[in-house]
């Protein structure tokens, strides 16, 4: 059973119901100790407002979601992505976020060059890494399920993310999202190999009858992922930090009363994670 002291609310879980100040107040009301904001809501509230509000609320910030999206059809697009990632690093530093989540980007528009896209990702990360190191912000490479390879992340497995993190060196690690990595036959060995480089751990569930591969994530315990088992692997690899609940659910949880969602998050965090 996961300790509620490790629970962090990834704000996408209540994205459709609450803006960032409401999510912060929701965490306070439910005694959830940590939060992971998304940049669109952060921009809407204002960085300074968010920094003050989160600090005054006494919340830890497990991560900022998200940087990445380095792949582009031309050099100007790649440079714009690098500039935007530097801003994201500054925001993460201001928030005291434990890491910046990196969803690295898919194939550039019109391209079928997957190795080329992966090279763009590596080069983009290398370009922003000095800024991240100077700011003290860890870059957390998040592998996404291969169904997202074309449009969101050419990083698909924990092993692939670890290989890239090790090649880039200090300041780069891996974020393990159960929704994206649970199916991987090499998962146990890959998580063990990630020891010392795990910067984040995200939970939700994979509904047996998934109706939308992005926006139909299940509440922990409502699907087929062995969340306790994966948590055990992550802890055996030395990660005992915050655990983000990240549920994108257009058809269900985004339709519900957000306070009821947070109560269910806590209940299932304790019983199913
Ligand atoms: Zn995630």
The mean per-residue pLDDT over the stretch 29-46 comes to 98
* CA-based nearest residue to 125, from 142, 150, 149, 145: 142
Ligand 1 geometric centre to CA of 150 (Å): 17
Confidence grade of residue 83 (pLDDT, cut at 50, 70, 90):
very high
Ligand 1 geometric centre to CA of 207 (Å): 16
pLDDT of 84: 98
User: Could you give the CA distance from residue 217 to residue 153 in angstroms, rounded to a whole number?
Assistant: 18
**pTM metric for this prediction:** 0.97
Ligand 1 geometric centre to CA of 116 (Å): 25
Mean pLDDT of the chain: 98
pLDDT of 47: 98
Per-residue pLDDT at 1 exceeds 90 = no
Ligand 1 geometric centre to CA of 191 (Å): 16
User: Could you give the CA distance from residue 62 to residue 90 in angstroms, rounded to a whole number?
Assistant: 15
Ligand 1 geometric centre to CA of 214 (Å): 11
For the stretch 190-248, pLDDT in tens is 999 999 999 999 999 999 999 998 999 999 999 999 999 999 999 999 999 999 999 99
Six-digit token pair at 184? 């991987």
Ligand 1 geometric centre to CA of 142 (Å): 7
User: Could you give the CA distance from residue 203 to residue 220 in angstroms, rounded to a whole number?
Assistant: 7
Six-digit token pair at 261? 């969602």
Which residues fall within 8 angstroms of residue 81, CB to CB, at 6 or more apart? 69, 70, 71, 72, 105, 124
Ligand 1 geometric centre to CA of 87 (Å): 20
pLDDT of 19: 98
Ligand 1 geometric centre to CA of 177 (Å): 5
| Residue positions counted in the chain | 273
Ligand 1 geometric centre to CA of 144 (Å): 8
For the stretch 97-133, pLDDT in tens is 999 999 999 999 999 999 999 999 999 999 999 999 9
pLDDT of 101: 98
Ligand 1 geometric centre to CA of 245 (Å): 8
The mean per-residue pLDDT over the stretch 169-197 comes to 98
User: Could you give the CA distance from residue 249 to residue 263 in angstroms, rounded to a whole number?
Assistant: 16
pLDDT of 40: 98
Ligand 1 geometric centre to CA of 109 (Å): 24
Ligand 1 geometric centre to CA of 9 (Å): 11
Q: In degrees rounded to 5, what are phi and psi of residue 199?
A: -110, -10
Ligand 1 geometric centre to CA of 74 (Å): 28
3-state secondary structure the chain: CCCHHHEEEEHHHHCCCCCHHHHHHHHHHCCCCEEECEHHHHHHHCHHHHHHHHHHHCCEECCEEEEECCCCCCHHHHHHHHHHHHHHHHHHHHHCCCCEEEECECCCCCCCCHHHHHHHHHHHHHHHHHHHHHHCCCEEECCCCHHHCCCCECCCCHHHHHHHHHHHCCCEEEEEEHHHHCCCCCHHHHHHHCCCCEEEEEECECCCCCCCCCCECECCCCCCCCHHHHHHHHHHCCCCCCEEECCCECCCHHHCCHHHHHHHHHHHHHHHC
Ligand 1 geometric centre to CA of 251 (Å): 19
Per-residue pLDDT at 271 exceeds 90 = yes
């Amino acid at each position: 059973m996961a300790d509620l002291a490790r629970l962090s609310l990834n704000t996408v879980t209540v994205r459709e119901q609450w803006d960032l100040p409401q999510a912060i107040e929701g965490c306070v009301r439910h005694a959830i100790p940590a939060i992971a904001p998304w940049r669109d809501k952060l921009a809407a509230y204002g960085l300074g407002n968010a920094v003050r509000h989160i600090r005054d609320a006494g919340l830890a910030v497990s991560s900022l979601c998200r940087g990445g999206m380095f792949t582009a059809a031309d050099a100007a697009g790649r440079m714009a992505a690098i500039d935007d990632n530097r801003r994201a690093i500054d925001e993460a530093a201001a928030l005291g976020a434990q890491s910046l989540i990196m969803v690295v980007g898919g194939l550039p528009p019109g391209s079928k060059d997957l190795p080329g896209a992966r090279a763009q990702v590596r080069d983009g990360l290398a370009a922003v890494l000095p800024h991240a190191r100077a700011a003290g912000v860890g870059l957390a490479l998040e592998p996404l399920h291969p169904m997202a390879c074309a449009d969101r992340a050419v990083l698909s497995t924990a092993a692939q993310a670890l290989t890239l993190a090790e090649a880039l060196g200090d300041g780069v690690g891996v974020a393990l999202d159960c929704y994206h990595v649970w199916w991987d036959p090499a998962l146990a060995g890959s998580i063990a190999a990630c020891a010392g480089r795990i910067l984040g751990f995200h939970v939700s569930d994979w509904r047996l009858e998934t109706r939308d591969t992005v926006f139909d994530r299940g509440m922990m315990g409502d699907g087929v992922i062995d969340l306790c088992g994966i948590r055990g692997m992550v802890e055996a690899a030395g990660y005992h930090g915050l655990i983000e609940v990240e549920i994108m659910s257009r058809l269900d949880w985004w339709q519900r009363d957000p306070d009821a969602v947070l109560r269910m998050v806590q209940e299932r965090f304790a019983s199913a994670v």
